[in-house]
Structure 1
Amino acid sequence: MDLAWIIAVAAAAGGPLTPGAVPVLAPPAALTCAVATPPGRPLTFAPRVGLTPRPVTVRGNLQLTGCVSPDGSAGALRSGWVSLRATADISCTSARHVRGRAVVVWFGWDGRPLGSSRIRGSEGSLATHRPADTLLGGTVTYGPLKGRPTAGGLMPDAGLIGCATQGLERLSGTGRMTFG
């Protein structure tokens, strides 16, 4: 852990840093970005997601914008374009056996490409009113941020009631995604 970060956390907590009183907190993420489905291009689910879990394929793109690197390790990465494909047992309230991959094309301040990363999805489970959050979890296996875990949340434009009554074939939303 970076000593400057530990001191900053202690100062922000309002207390002195004394021997043996090191806060037990995770270091900041290497990169945090706003994430959103592109306008007019929602994620798609085939077949439609419903009340009971069943195997579903998810495809689509996500935009990463306003990326910030608190520790400076990924300071050149400012935005990205994510192409993803995953399969999972999904219902309106859960996602299990998630398997997937995503490719992120990174861009710098000037909008020029800086490289690409591959993300292998986590095979975990998530019980929530936002099962799409599982699509943002995994590990970077290639390119910038290699070895870093990914996580995030995607707040859907449509609510749980609509999914339960009509099923969910498309999903638009916004949220945050972290790397590291």
Structure 2
Amino acid sequence: MFTLPASGRIRSTALPAAAAVVVVSLLAATPQVAAHTGQKLVTCTVSTTPGRPITLDPPVSMTARRITARATLALTHCTSPNGAHARLRSGWLTAHGTGLGSCTNVDDISATGRITWYDADKRPAGTSVIKPDHSAIEAARSVKSYNPGDMLLGGKVTKGRLAGASVAGSAIPTSDITTCTTTGIAAVTGTGKISFIA
């Protein structure tokens, strides 16, 4: 699977660059005027679920080509460190993106994401729209040595619950990605953490 820890970085396993297309879509955002305090509003575990990997079409390989990536990720064990958003306990994050990608590089990324939130009783608790952060767009649009968590660092919530919050996380795949340079990769799974920061 692929992890999104709050630290925003992975120190070991790298994911194929084109998978960044989805990750960007999860955390992308438009510029916000509000200043950020660095206070964590909500932190969740995020993961792919059985039968729902991140899909990459066509499969990522050593040859750069236009890739479409899609993901539906589960957000669980959500907590609000300051208590302001304690109602947000879980959610589903759907994302879609495109990029010119290979096993080691992704350029020209375009993406969007949406979270549907639920409370402790599994009742709907609102939605959040996530789009690319234009202040970080250049770094996100061209990644030479891809660490998927790094792609999560430039996002903002542009609409709905947690509007204006930055999004931070990083990713570690749990599926076999060594086939990228041979047969290619059409799907990736993972698990980790994601944070929404004021």
Query: Residue 140 in 1 paired to residue 157 in 2?
Result: yes
CA distance in 2, matches of 1:78, 1:127: 36
Equivalent pair of 1:121/1:136 in contact (CA under 8 Å): no
Amino acid in the other structure paired with 1:110: D
Residue from 77, 98, 102 that aligns with 1:87: 98
Q: Any conservation in 1 of the 2:148–2:172 contact (CA below 8 Å)?
A: no
User: Under a length normalisation based on structure 1, what TM-score does the superposition of the two structures give?
Assistant: 0.76
Which amino acid letter does the alignment assign opposite residue 115 of structure 2? V
Letter in 2 for 1:81: W
Displacement after TM superposition at 1:136 (Å): 7.5
Identity %: 39
User: What is the rounded CA distance, in whole Å, between the counterparts of 1:136 and 1:63 in structure 2?
Assistant: 19
From 149, 164, 171, the equivalent of 2:181 is: 164
Q: 1:141 to 1:174 in 2, by over 3 A?
A: same
Gaps of 5+ in 1: 1-25
The structure-2 alpha-carbon separation of the partners of 1:46 and 1:86, relative to structure 1 and needing over 3 Å to count, comes to same
Aligned to 1:51: 62
For these two proteins, the number of residue pairs brought into alignment is 155
State the Cα distance separating 1:132 from its structure 2 match: 7.0
* Equivalent position SS for 1:151: strand
Q: Which residue of 2 aligns with 1:112?
A: 123
CA displacement at 1:70 relative to structure 2: 1.2
Which one of the candidate residues 142, 154, 160 is aligned to 2:171? Answer: 154
- Structure whose CA Rg is larger: 1
Aligned residues: CA RMSD: 2.2
Farther-moved stretch of structure 1 (71-80 vs 86-95) = 86-95
Residues 177 and 145 of structure 1: is their aligned pair in 2 closer, same or farther, counting only changes over 3 Å? same
- Return closer, same or farther for 1:39/1:132 CA change in 2, 3 Å cut-off: farther
Whole-angstrom distance in 1 between the partners of 2:102 and 2:149: 10
Counterpart in 1 of 2:74? 63
Counterpart amino acid of residue 178 in structure 1: S
Q: What's 1:178 paired with? A: 195
Q: Is the 8 A contact 2:131 2:158 kept in 1?
A: yes
Determine which structure has greater relative contact order: mean sequence separation of CA pairs < 8 Å that are 6+ residues apart, divided by chain length. Answer: 2
Partner Cα separation in structure 2 for residue 135 and residue 45 of structure 1 = 18
CA deviation after TM superposition for structure 1 residue 54, in Å: 2.8
Q: Letter of the aligned partner of 2:46 in structure 1? A: V
